[in-house]
Amino acid sequence: MEPLIDRAQLLESLEAMGGEPAEALALILDLYSEDAPQLLGAIVQGAAAADFEQLRFAAHSLKSSSATLGAHRLAQLCQQMEHQAHRREAHNLSALAQQLQAAYQATWAAFRDPALL
């Protein structure tokens, strides 16, 4: 099973910011911790209501920020949700939203692990 976070991708993103990687990570995680839960909430709400526009926007946004940080598993689930919303397929939206929630929780814990860097 692939790791929750691609450490090489994360380090590349941190290096692009310049400065000390640990400081850059703290800054990025601060921003991510503000946006990601709101986007995840929008995904869960959009899935419950079959609001495809809300789903597509929130899944795309969370996918982009997660992929930049190397959280590929979470980004892949967001991409599934985004494609399903684009095709306006209501089948299994709630189950996929639950998978996204679980993946987010696990990914957030991995980001908070002091051994990450």
What is the pTM for the complete model shown? 0.93
Structure tokens at 113: 């692990």
48 neighbors 74 (Cβ within 8 angstroms): no
Domain ranges within the chain, ordered by starting residue: 21-116
Per-residue pLDDT of the chain (117 residues; tens, 9 = 90+): 678 999 999 999 999 988 899 999 999 999 999 999 999 999 999 999 999 999 999 999 999 999 999 999 999 999 999 999 999 999 999 999 999 999 999 999 999 998 898
For residue 80, which of 92, 70, 68, 65 has the smallest C-alpha distance? 92
Eight-state DSSP code of residue 4: S
Structure tokens at 5: 């976070």
Q: Which CATH number fits domain 21-116: 1.20.120, 1.20.1070, 1.10.3470, 3.30.410?
A: 1.20.120
- Residue 42 CB coordination number (10 Å): 18
